[in-house]
Amino acid sequence: MEYHTTFLSLPEGRRIIAVSDIHGHLSLLKALLEKIRYKPGDDLLFLVGDTVEKGPDSLGTLRYVMKLCEEGTVYPTMGNVDAFTLSMLDADGDGEAFLRYVNVRRRHSGSSLITEALDELGLPLGGLSDVPAAKQALRAHLARETAFLQSLPALIETEKYIFVHGGLPMADTSALTAADLPGLLKFDAFLEKAPHFDKYVFVGHWPVVLYSDTVSCADPIIDQKRHVVSLDGGCGVKDGAQLNAVLVAPDGSFSHESYDGLPQVQALDAQTDGGDAFHLRWTERFVERLSAENGIARVRVISCGKTLDVPENYLYTEADGRLCCRDFPAHRLKIEPGDALSLIDETPLGLLVKKGSTSGLYGGRVRAL
């Protein structure tokens, strides 16, 4: 696949909106755009990669984004998952890898651009011998969609801003070579490595909750010293995820909004802050089980030696046999009666909730809103 970059000269006096990592969550995208009162043709909407995969409606999301591009000033970029999806449709690609990909998506996430298109076509995929014909049918059925994805730039630069899914290895974009462009789509933990930029750089890819080992907050991070804006609220990959939008007003000021689509409840009891907070993240997911009782497992985090209690059903084993734990904010939030909360999960340790954009445990009662 050949990658390219684009320079845009933006009109003055317009609101700029940046959203990333929609990951097939069409309902969240529509709700977020309604919440921020998006105005097609007036607002400048940048979609910073990973439009598809991992969510319930990749095909519907992609077609909706294509429609938005026809109706307004909308500028999507390529994400690493978008590029990977295209690679799976390559006629010369590995048939076994394609079959494995489809089976994994059906088993673990239930949906993907390719599985949804297979369902639209009514095509069974029983074994390796079915793959060549399935790929051929998919390429014909998805001709418009794949042409759209292939047209997306790896980076969009304007007079004041840069939009790129993963990150940039250098501040000077003029020094980028063709060999650098694939790496712009997948730049893990970019905010920890980013230099200072003259222009604001908007990135997605790395869920912002992974940047803190104490507080699990899904709000976008706006680093005004280094001029980096990290957008990814974790849709499709994190419990308690939210779709974030960073808004840049015509005067250059920043604000943000989000939408999570989770059940809304109201707290009935007060709860004090639980003290020392610890957020068990994917980057420290490997654990040792010390004991388990009544659905609660006591584990030791291999990387730091921390001991904590987690819901036993949050534990899983990777292919290499190592025991892991899903992200878990192991602390109690300060909550007052009447606080509005998003309900993430009911666990033996209490309710896992979000207050604002911060996740944690709540031991009190709630009522539905």
CATH match of 5-89+142-259 with 3.60.21.10:
yes
Average pLDDT over residues 332-356: 97
Pick from 8-22, 79-93, 155-169, 177-191: least confident? 79-93
Work out the mean pLDDT of the chain and round it to a whole number.
Answer: 95
Whether pLDDT at 369 is above 90:
yes
Q: Each residue of 261-294: pLDDT tens digit? A: 999 999 999 999 987 889 999 999 999 999 999 9
* pLDDT tens digits along 150-193: 999 999 999 999 999 999 999 899 999 999 999 999 999 999 99
Radius of gyration of the chain (CA): 21
Which runs of consecutive H residues, i.e. helices, occur in the chain?
A: 26-35, 58-71, 80-88, 95-104, 113-121, 131-141, 143-151
pLDDT of residue 110: 63
**What's the mean pLDDT in 71-82?**
95
Q: Are 342 and 262 in contact (CB under 8 A)?
A: yes
* pLDDT band at 124; cut points 50, 70, 90: confident
Residue 212 CA to residue 252 CA, distance in Å, equals 28
Of residues 226 and 103, more confidently modeled:
226
Integer Cα distance of 106 and 116 in angstroms: 10
Compute the distance between CA of residue 112 and CA of residue 120 in angstroms, rounded to an integer: 12
3-state secondary structure of 40: coil
Q: Who's near 217: CB < 8 A, 6+ residues apart?
A: 208, 209, 357, 358, 359
Is residue 243 within 8 A of residue 19, CB to CB? The reply is yes
Q: Is residue 80 over pLDDT 80?
A: yes
What is the spatial distance between Cα 109 and Cα 214, in angstroms, rounded to a whole number?
A: 28
For 195-235, write each residue's pLDDT tens digit: 999 999 999 999 999 999 999 999 999 999 999 999 999 99
Domain(s) of CATH 3.60.21.10: residues in the chain: 5-89+142-259
**Three-state SS across 142-182?**
CHHHHHHHHHCCCEEECCCEEEECCCCCCCCHHHCCHHHHH
pLDDT band at 323 (very low <50, low <70, confident <90, very high): very high
Q: What percent of the chain shows pLDDT beyond 70?
A: 99
**In which band, very low, low, confident or very high, does the pLDDT at 306 lie, cut at 50, 70 and 90?**
very high
Q: What is the value of pTM for the model shown?
A: 0.95
Cα–Cα distance for residue pair 163/204, rounded to 1 Å = 9
| Contact (Cβ atoms closer than 8 angstroms) between residue 320 and residue 333 | no
